[in-house]
């Protein structure tokens, strides 16, 4: 019968939630009228969600205040009763935030805990709050409010990461590095181009989140258990009071829809997939084999046994935590699969995966951003890895094409050149002109300039390409994207 204490949001910005596990061996329920026996304690604990849904206390109270105000305005309860309820709810909120409230497992979930507290505090008037409402529309409303409020926060974190990417890209417009396909050196690019690749992925992540936010902006309150009610409730009033665009259109759908949570989890899974790919890249780049980057000491760890080690734990953990977020998505998809209309208790399983995914993302993105911001780029090592090999072989073929040869023929000639170089231990940029000419008389002294990595990169000034001008344009686009969001924040 001990006390469970936890913070309702992992990062210390919320009051501690106290839950007393059990007050009696049997619990007297709100629904006791229908029953001849009390709930078995095992079932009581099994059924209870207060251990994790307590974090919805603020949304629950806000939803109840909007509902009570509407009940009063519509004459469903007396205005003075609505006032009393609203005052009582505000006092409960203040007490929770001041760490003064204990929740009970016997009251199952956050909704019944708050209702029970209200009635204890204001007496019978508290019992009028649940008129024309069910926990089914209540939980659907609370959860939507919660998810709706977390999304802008997550978007803000992604925009911060994009800002760091833009900063790195701008500093490395001319930092040549090998671009890979199949993890084999393919064509030269720049570190800036590479950073902007990730900035573009993150732009899609932001718009996916905005898109799901837009779709979820409808209020289920007033849907009741599944079929609304016979009271003259005004769902438009409560929707507006809670900041929703409009009420949901079908009450059965309203109480059983968790698409918004699945969409969020899917957007977060894709975001984590991007961070995991980026992490993998950083892990490779900081290996002694690549040595393209060096992590700041503050963002890496040592080994307890091997004194030389500097480990990319942050990147590895972000890569690893991606699995948790995918897990949450699959959990909720599976929970929802084959559920008939309308509410089913299975749906109580929606919260933990969503909370865990949100917490994980809110933990990963800022630490990843800081790690990237402090990462040192080893330009010389990147340049060395890009030169002395055949990364400019396509450019060599393009050189011949510019002199009139069809690409396929040029490709064959350069293939033979590469083969020759491999056998003689040369590279294309050191091969003597006479050897070039032995294979094609179209080669001239200017081939060496054409094969310079900077020429190869800056020659690729196609829209989206790696040339400094193209990447500068990509930077402008992302900056504009970030700027537009900063403006909507201010309005």
Shortest approach of ligand ARG to residue 334 CB, angstroms?
Answer: 16
Q: Which is nearer to ligand ARG, 347 or 417 (CB)?
A: 347
49 is catalytic: no
Q: How far from 370 is each of 300, 334, 378, CA to CA, in Å? A: 12, 35, 18
Contact with ligand ARG (CB under 6 A) among 49, 187, 238, 322: 49
Give the separation between CA 436 and CA 427, rounded to whole angstroms: 11
Burial class (CB in 10 A: 0-12, 13-18, 19+), 45: middle
Shortest approach of ligand ARG to residue 257 CB, angstroms?
Answer: 13
182 is catalytic: yes
Reading the block at residue 162, the tokens are 């994009």
Question: Contact, 192 vs 170, CB < 8 A?
Answer: yes
Reading the block at residue 10, the tokens are 């992992």
Query: Residue 343 interacts with ligand ARG (CB under 6 A)?
Result: yes
Give the separation between CA 74 and CA 92, rounded to whole angstroms: 25
Query: Residue 345 interacts with ligand ARG (CB under 6 A)?
Result: yes
Give the separation between CA 330 and CA 266, rounded to whole angstroms: 9
| 169 Cα distance to chain centroid | 23
Shortest approach of ligand ARG to residue 234 CB, angstroms?
Answer: 23
Question: Contact, 428 vs 421, CB < 8 A?
Answer: yes
Query: Residue 57 interacts with ligand ARG (CB under 6 A)?
Result: no
Query: Residue 281 interacts with ligand ARG (CB under 6 A)?
Result: no
Q: Which is nearer to ligand ARG, 133 or 135 (CB)?
A: 135
Reading the block at residue 222, the tokens are 């007033």
Sketch the per residue contact string, 347 through 366, with ligand ARG: x for CB under 6 A, - otherwise.
xx------------------
> Which residue among 130, 269, 303, 427 is the active-site one?
303
Shortest approach of ligand ARG to residue 17 CB, angstroms?
Answer: 15
94-153: contacts with ligand ARG (CB under 6 A) = 109, 135-136, 139
- What is the C-alpha end-to-end distance of the chain, expressed in Å? 50
Shortest approach of ligand ARG to residue 313 CB, angstroms?
Answer: 36
Please name the helix (run of DSSP H) or strand (run of DSSP E) that holds residue 475, with its range, or none: helix 468-490
Q: Which is nearer to ligand ARG, 347 or 421 (CB)?
A: 347
Report the interface residues with ligand ARG, using CB under 6 A: 49, 53, 109, 135-136, 139, 343, 345, 347-348
Q: Which residues are catalytic?
A: 182, 303
């Amino acid at each position: 019968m001990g006390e469970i204490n936890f913070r309702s949001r992992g990062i210390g910005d919320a009051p501690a939630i106290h839950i007393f596990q059990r007050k009696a061996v049997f619990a007297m329920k709100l629904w006791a009228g229908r029953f001849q026996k009390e709930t078995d304690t095992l079932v009581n604990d099994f059924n209870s969600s207060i251990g994790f849904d307590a974090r919805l206390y603020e949304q629950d109270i806000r939803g109840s205040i909007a509902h009570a105000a509407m009940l009063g305005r519509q004459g469903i309860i007396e205005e003075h009763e609505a006032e009393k309820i609203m005052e009582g709810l505000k006092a409960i909120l203040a007490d929770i935030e001041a760490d003064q409230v204990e929740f009970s497992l016997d009251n199952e979930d956050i909704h019944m805990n708050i209702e029970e507290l209200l009635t204890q505090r204001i007496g019978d008037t508290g019992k009028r709050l649940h008129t024309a409402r069910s926990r089914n529309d209540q939980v659907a409303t609370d959860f939507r409010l919660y998810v709706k409020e977390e999304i802008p926060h997550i978007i803000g974190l992604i925009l911060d990461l994009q800002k760091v990417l833009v900063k790195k890209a701008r500093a490395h417009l001319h930092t040549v590095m090998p671009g890979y396909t199949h993890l084999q050196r393919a064509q030269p690019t720049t570190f800036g181009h590479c950073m902007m690749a990730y900035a573009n992925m993150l732009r899609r992540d932001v718009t996916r989140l905005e898109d799901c936010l837009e779709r979820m902006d409808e209020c289920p309150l007033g849907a009741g258990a599944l079929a609304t009610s016979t009271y003259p409730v005004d769902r438009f009033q409560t929707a507006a009071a809670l900041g929703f665009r409009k009420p949901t259109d079908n009450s059965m759908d309203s109480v059983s829809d968790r698409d918004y949570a699945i969409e969020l989890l899917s957007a977060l899974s894709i975001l984590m997939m991007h961070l995991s790919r980026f992490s993998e890249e950083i892990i490779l780049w900081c290996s002694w084999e690549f040595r393209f980057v060096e992590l700041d000491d503050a963002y890496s760890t040592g080994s307890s046994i091997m004194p030389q080690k500097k480990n990319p734990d942050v990147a590895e953990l972000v890569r690893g935590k991606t699995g948790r977020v995918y897990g949450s998505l699959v959990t909720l998809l599976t929970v929802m699969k084959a559920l008939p209309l309308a509410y089913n208790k299975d749906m109580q399983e929606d919260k933990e995966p969503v909370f865990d995914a949100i917490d994980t993302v809110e933990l990963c993105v800022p630490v990843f951003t800081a790690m990237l911001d402090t990462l040192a780029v080893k330009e010389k090592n990147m340049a060395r890895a890009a030169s002395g090999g055949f990364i400019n072989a396509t450019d060599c073929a393009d050189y011949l094409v510019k002199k009139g040869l069809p690409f396929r023929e040029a490709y064959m000639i350069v293939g033979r050149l590469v083969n020759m170089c491999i056998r003689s231990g040369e590279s294309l940029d050191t091969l003597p002109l006479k050897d070039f000419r032995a294979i094609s008389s179209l080669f001239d002294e200017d081939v060496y300039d054409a094969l310079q990595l900077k020429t190869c990169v800056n020659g690729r000034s196609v829209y989206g390409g790696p040339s400094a001008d193209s990447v500068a344009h990509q930077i402008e686009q992302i900056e504009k994207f970030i700027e537009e969001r900063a403006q909507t924040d201010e309005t």
